Amino acid sequence: MIAKLLGAKIFQIALLTGKVQKNKYYNLPFYVLQKTKQGLKSHFISIKTPSMKKVNLTLKQAFRFAFVGLLAVSLFSSCKKNDPYDFEDTIGAEVNLINASPDAPAAQLYVEDILRTPSSVTFGQASGYYKTFLGDQDVIIKSATGEATLSSSHVQFDAFNSYTFFLVGQNSGLGIITVTDDVTAPAAGKAKVRFVNASPNASSVSLIIGGNVIAANQNFRAVGSSVEIAAGTYAVVLSNVAGGTTTTNTTAGVSFQSGKIYTVYAKGLVGSTGTTAFTAGIYNNK
């Protein structure tokens, strides 16, 4: 048994027994063994999850959160275990909601029936990032009152990842685009940009920034790759081609700062005017 433990890079202490209850939060305690010049060094970490569903954690991620001396606190503090808003000494993920539906009401994001975005999000706005626990979980976007479910999905939340959920479509057919955000820092002097086509009647959208094509001919719900651009101020152009007709929208004077990460998304409706016109939404992720 000792040989197996010494040979393991990471192992879980199995302390949880009995039936798992929905909306109860469980600490999953782990030890990490690190080989040092002084010998093996153990670290204790904890993951909080709303169920015993699959939780992914790599050794590299574990060491980002490794600490010593909190075994008793994490294992025996039952008041923390069932608190869905307590993230102390806990590895988690973070979630962000963007309302890109031109006729949906103000919305809020729930994970396993727990409200994660406390402020309601209207069309073209974002909630900003909020923490959530790890594992395979249900995601529901509800109206601001919490009475109506607008759309739902199922997501695997992994350690330290950031996720953006786009509410898209129109009231007759709302849906969710789930994006695992690329929040790794760009190179010096660069900004990082990703494009999402969240315009329900725009079938082939290209994003051009400063005359350079960042994403080409993206279908509705398509999520582009992250692209690094030189930091600066540019015109952001959306171009949609459908049936031989090209529709463009230009947002002038958009600043992309060095070291920052952005999501540019098509929103609104081609052919519409006013607040629901076909335009670019720009969100500064990090």
Res 210 pLDDT > 50:
yes
Kindly report which listed range (27-31, 94-98, 190-194) carries the lowest average pLDDT score: 27-31
Q: Write the DSSP string, the chain.
A: -HHHHHH-SEEE-----S---TT--EEEEEEEEEEETTEEEEEEEEEEESSSS-----HHHHHHS-BSS-HHHHHH-HHHHT-TT--TT-B-EEEEEEE--TT---EEEEETTEE---S-B-TT-B---EEE--EEEEEEEEETTS-SEEEEEEEEE-TT-EEEEEEES-TTS-EEEEEE---SPPPTTEEEEEEEE--TT--SEEEEETTEEEEEEEPTT-BPPPEEEESEEEEEEEEEEETTEEEEEEEEEEEE-TT-EEEEEEESBTT--GGGBSEEEEEE--
pLDDT of residue 169: 97
Mean pLDDT of the chain: 80
pLDDT of residue 52: 46
Read off the pLDDT of each residue in 170-194 and give the average, rounded to a whole number.
96
Q: State the pTM of this model.
A: 0.78
pLDDT of residue 8: 35
Domains parsed from the chain with CATH numbers: 2-81 (no CATH), 92-181 (2.60.40.2890), 185-286 (2.60.40)
Instruction: Dump pLDDT digits (tens) for 101-122.
Output: 999 999 999 999 999 999 999 9
Read off the pLDDT of each residue in 176-205 and give the average, rounded to a whole number.
97
Kindly report which listed range (3-12, 108-117, 149-158, 199-208) carries the lowest average pLDDT score: 3-12
